[in-house]
């Protein structure tokens, strides 16, 4: 369900932040790691973009794309966005943490 998870965390004595834009991710992680209590990062993501982990092999990416192409009505956009995200990870100058 679409709930304000970070707000809920703060109301019960924890800490949290809502992340809506990629440029907010680094600050959110810094705050979470520096926190002296449990911390919730509420990531707002595009449901049309499948999450592809950084360690995914080309075979795994191709299999996921093939599955999407067979059954999702918004498949073109989903594949474009997924590939765009993966390519951006591989570009020089992008920060990767492993």
Which structural domain, as residue segments, surrounds residue 90?
Answer: 47-98
Angle between helices 58-71 and 75-90 (to 10 degrees): 160
What sign results for the dihedral spanned by CA atoms 14, 23, 98, 58?
A: positive
Residues 66, 96 within the same domain: yes
Residues 54, 35 within the same domain: no
Residue 97 has pLDDT above 50, yes or no: no
Residues 27, 10 within the same domain: yes
Residues 19, 36 within the same domain: yes
Question: How many domains does one find in the chain?
Answer: 2
Residues 55, 94 within the same domain: yes
Which of 49, 39, 44 shows the shortest CA–CA distance to 77? 49
The pTM score is 0.54
pLDDT digits (tens, 9 = 90+) for 26-72: 999 999 999 999 999 999 887 766 667 777 788 887 877 777 777 66
């Amino acid at each position: 369900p679409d709930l304000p998870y970070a707000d809920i965390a703060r109301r019960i004595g924890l800490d949290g932040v809502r992340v809506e834009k990629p440029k907010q991710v680094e600050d959110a992680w810094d705050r979470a790691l520096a926190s002296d209590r449990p911390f919730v990062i509420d990531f707002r993501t595009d449901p049309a973009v499948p999450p592809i982990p950084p360690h995914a092999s080309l075979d795994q990416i191709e299999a996921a794309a093939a599955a999407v192409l067979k059954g999702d009505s918004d498949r073109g956009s989903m594949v474009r966005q997924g590939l765009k995200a993966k390519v951006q990870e591989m570009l020089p100058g992008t920060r990767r943490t492993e």
